[in-house]
Each structure stands twice: as structure tokens, then as C-alpha cells.
Structure 1
């Protein structure tokens, strides 16, 4: 049979023949699979390492492409000496190019350092005491956020109770006026509910003050400190990246060109070291002030909470002992 000038094959497809061969010779097929697995396993392990380096190379290439795009995107870049406006454009282009070039180099070095640390091939600067304080701050922030949620829920429930006591006291007052035979009993209960409502409002005010203080502490003071910590961690990564670069250059040849590169690397290393130490000092100071602020806020709240709770308990004790309820 012919179709469109081509002879249709009468034999089975390659896939069908392979399936039949597998059914007839299962032992040979398993040996072939084992052989393929043995050959490909080292290749897969090596590919994992190569992929990391390949990512870095691709990132470097993309950075170069971005630099070229930015350089030629400014008007007048092809004819820089025609007029004063072109000179201005040229200056802007050079400034932008230099800025993006520095960003690309810095990002490349930091990415390389991050991969090196993650895969255990690079060293990192560690301040054990400061990092322990940072971990403690993050843990404390999570606990305070939970306290904030619980205290907010307590306010909602307690406010409903105080409003119910207020409404109940008004109802008892109305009944005492309309029921002369039970005027004293309804009157006592009305006064009881009003007293409980008054002390409950005082306790509610203390809880509101506590929530406001904790909210400021968590969402402003702690958050500001964590932002500084984030800057410090980025500065630490940059410092280690330039430190590793300087160490790598120092182990290489010492010809004239290499000495120039080492001197430039030493300069960049010093800049990022100063930045790292400055931010580390800022984090240490903010952590100290944060601890002092936290202690002062909680001490004031403790006094208010104790006084309002004590007043409410005393009034409740007197009410039940006098038999108002």
C-alpha cells in the first residue's frame, strides 16, 4: 500500500521490538540497566558540582550583558564629542556604568561566597556572642508576638464581659425601682455589678496599655533592630567575600600586575571590613538599648496590672463575703 508516494513500513516499530526483547530476555535487560546506572552515577555527582560553577558563570555573563545594555542605552553614546549635551550624556553614562559595574562585581563575589559557605568550601567570620544574642532576639520576638495575639484576644473577651456587667447592673437598677418587695436585693446586685464593671475597666486599661507597649516594642523597636541586623549580615557576607578574594590573590604569583590587583583587593577589603565592624557595633548598641527598653516597659506594666488586678480581687472578695450575690 502506498500513501503520498511513500511505502508504509510493514515491520513493527522499534519500541515494539524493544518491548518484546525485554519480555523475552529480562535478565539481560536488568544487566543493561545496572551497567547504565553504574556509568551515569559518577556523572550525576560531578554534574551537581559543575552546576554550581555554571550558575556563577551564567550570572557573570548576564552581568556583562546588562552593563553593555546600560552603556548603549544613553543617547549620544555613539558620538560623544559633538556637543556639550553629549558630554553630559557621556558623563551620566560613565557614572551609571561604573555604578552597575561595581554592583555586578560585588554581587558576583557575594554569590560566590554564599555558595562556598553553603557547600562547605569557604570560611565565614563568626561572632559567637553576638550571633547568640541575635538568635535570642528572634526567639523573643516570636514569643512576644504570641503574647500580643493572646493579650488582644483577652481584651476582646474581657471587654465583652465588662459590657455585660454594665448592662446587668443597669437591669438590676431598673428592677429595683419597679419591684418594691425586692428593692434591696436588686439594689445590692446592681451596685455589685457596677463595682465589678469599674474595676474591670481599670484592668482593661492596664491590658490595653500592655498591648500598646508590646506592639511598639515588637513592630517598631525590635523590627528596627532586625533591619540593622540584616544590614550587618549582608556586610558580613561582603567582608568575607572580599577577604576570600584577597587571600586567593595573595597565594598567587607576585608579578607587577598581580601586585596591583592585590593592592586594589586590599583596599576593597579594608573598606568592607570597616563597614562590617561599624554595623556590628550598631547592632551591639541597639541590642543593649532594646533590652533596657523592654525591661522598663514591662516593669511599668507589671505595676499597673498588679494594682488593677488587686483592686478587682479585693472588690470581688468583699462582695461575696457580704453576700451581695
Structure 2
């Protein structure tokens, strides 16, 4: 026993120091420290088995401290989870609805791209004179006449607004002049009668001018509604009709060019015919809508302009002839509320 203990101490003395070792391999694994403990324990217990220090032995001694990984453990996504599929969270019907939505958007984009391409090609061919366009001579003449009428009415509207603005400055000047004459009548007794007479004249002109301004504003409001709302609504339908005409001609040309080539492709030919029939129905429907709208617009335009032209004529004639009673009766005839542009609007409590 003493000899065995002495051999162990001699073995430990012959072992090089861990601090002086330059060839120590710091593996950072826990297996090395485990191997060192097992090797030393087995050596002390006097086991007959020998364990050499080397990299080939999994229980070999290590001269490095164990390095532990303190990072948070990662939980792999289980494919058996009902809410995960290939790492993506999905619901029970989410994948199918997502696929349907994506397919619908792709189809819509595809149809829009094809239609836009065909319409652009049709427009370019029409401008180059290489394609025939569908022409409704009577309807297009009416459309052109309507656009010309709108341009002329807008010109009348612009001139009437300018006249109303200038005349409003005249009325404001007359009001200021009447106030100045009245003030001078108080300060000049020797000319009091003359100043008062001129002041009353300017006040009467101001009153009649305000009545004429009310008539002008009513005329401007009615013509503006006719030009920028009623006629614009019909022109919007006309623009839709023109777009439908271009689409109809584009698909008509596509059908004519596809017939000799698609003799054997029956499905493609049927699809082209179905698209052509759809755009033809849409074109004819919008053409009917345009004809009806233009008829009603023409009747409404004549009625509105007849009333407004009579109002404008009677009001201006009564004002410049000095017939105040005729001017007031004209405004009452057309139910125009008398509103002076020089009056200051009261507070909301007074209203």
C-alpha cells in the first residue's frame, strides 16, 4: 500500500504544472472537466485501468475551465402546432382565404393590364389612321354642340362676374359719397340744402344698385350651377361613353384579327367573343344613357336660361331707366331675397 501511494505521488510530481503548460487546449466543453475528474478519481482509487491524456479519449483531462452557454434556449416551432405551417402562423381558414384574395387581385391586375394595353393600342392606331373607329355622326354632333355651348356660357359667366364686381365698387363709392354729402350738410349751413339733395340722390342710387346686384348674383349663381354641375354631369357620362367606345373598337379589332388564327383554339375564340359581346353591350348602354341625358339637359337648359335672361334684361333696364318700382317688382317676381353686399353679417346669436 505504501509503495502504491508513493508511486502516485511520484506520478504527480512528474506531471508538468498547469500554469506552465503552453500546449494546453482550452476546449470550453464540459466533457473535458468531467474527464479530468474521472481520471483523477480513478487514479487515486488505484484502479488497474490506465487513461492516457489525449484528444482521442472522450474522458481525457482538460486544463481549461468549463465555458457555459447562458443564452436563452430557443424553442423550435413544432410542425404539429395547428397554428403554424412551415414557420408561418396561420388560422384554420387563413391560408385558403389568403390564396383566394391574392388570386383575385392578380386576376384583376391582369385584366386591367390587358384592357389598358388594348385601348392604348387602339388610340394610337386611330391617330395613325390604321384602324377604323365606330362613329355615330348624329350623337357626336350633339356632343360637340354641347361642349361649344358650355364654353360660351362660361364666357358669359366670366363677363357677368366681372360686371358685378365693377358695379359693386360703384355702389360702394355711391354709398361713401352719400355719407360725405350728409356730413358736409351738417358742417356747411349755407350749402345744406344742396348737400342733402345730392346725398339723397346717391342713397337712392345705392339702394337701386344693391337691388341690381342681387339680381346679378342670382343670375350668376344659376348659370354657374348650369355650367359646372348640370352640364358637367352629362359630360361625365359622355366621357364614360367615349371610353366604352374605345374599348369596344379595341376588342372588335382583336376579334377580327383573331378569327383566322384561332381556328383550332375554340376556347380562346370563345373568350374573345365573350369579351367583345360584353364591351358591345356596355357601349350601347352608355350611348343610350348619353342620348337620354342630353335630351333632358337641353330641356332644362332652355327653361333655366329663359328665366335668367328675362330677369337680367328687366333688372338692368329698370335700373338704368331709373324705374325703381319696376326693379323691385322684378326681384319679387323671381323670388329673389334682397341682400345688400355692403351689409355686415350679424353674429350667430342674432341669426
- Residue matched to 2:279: 272
Aligned equivalents of 2:177, 2:219: Cα separation in 1:
28
CA positional deviation for 1:110: 1.3
How do residues 87-236 of structure 1 correspond to structure 2 at under 5 angstroms?
A: 87-236=96-245
CA positional deviation for 1:316: 7.6
SS of residue matched to 2:321: helix
CA positional deviation for 1:82: 10
SS of residue matched to 1:108: helix
Aligned equivalents of 2:296, 2:117: Cα separation in 1:
36
Aligned equivalents of 2:185, 2:172: Cα separation in 1:
20
1:95-152 Cα distance to aligned partner (Å, 9 max, x none): 1121112112211221221222121111110111111122222222222222222222
What TM-score results when the alignment is normalised by the length of structure 1? 0.67
CA positional deviation for 1:233: 0.8
Aligned equivalents of 1:122, 1:91: Cα separation in 2:
39
How do residues 35-74 of structure 1 correspond to structure 2 at under 5 angstroms?
A: none
CA positional deviation for 1:276: 0.7
Query: Which of residues 277, 281, 288 in structure 2 aligns to 1:281?
Result: 288
Query: Which of residues 290, 294, 303 in structure 2 aligns to 1:296?
Result: 303
Aligned equivalents of 1:179, 1:116: Cα separation in 2:
83
CA positional deviation for 1:232: 0.9
Aligned equivalents of 1:306, 1:120: Cα separation in 2:
50
What TM-score results when the alignment is normalised by the length of structure 2? 0.62
Aligned equivalents of 2:276, 2:144: Cα separation in 1:
27
Aligned equivalents of 2:208, 2:272: Cα separation in 1:
69
CA positional deviation for 1:216: 1.4
SS of residue matched to 1:315: coil
Aligned equivalents of 1:114, 1:307: Cα separation in 2:
50
SS of residue matched to 2:133: coil
- Residue matched to 1:308: 315
More helix, by proportion: 1
1:242-262 Cα distance to aligned partner (Å, 9 max, x none): 11111122344533x2x3322
Aligned equivalents of 1:144, 1:101: Cα separation in 2:
43
CA positional deviation for 1:311: 2.2
Please say which of residues 217-226 and 275-284 is displaced more in the overlay: 217-226
Please say which of residues 110-119 and 153-162 is displaced more in the overlay: 110-119
- Contact 2:262 2:269 survives alignment (8 Å): no
Point out the structure with max Rg over C-alpha: 2
How do residues 75-90 of structure 1 correspond to structure 2 at under 5 angstroms?
A: 84-90=93-99
How many pairs does the alignment contain? Answer: 238
Aligned equivalents of 1:105, 1:253: Cα separation in 2:
19
CA separation of 1:240 and 1:315: change in aligned 2, threshold 3 A: same
Higher RCO (CA-CA < 8 Å; seq separation 6+): 1
Aligned equivalents of 2:311, 2:143: Cα separation in 1:
30
Q: Which runs of 5+ in 1 are unaligned?
A: 1-75, 318-325
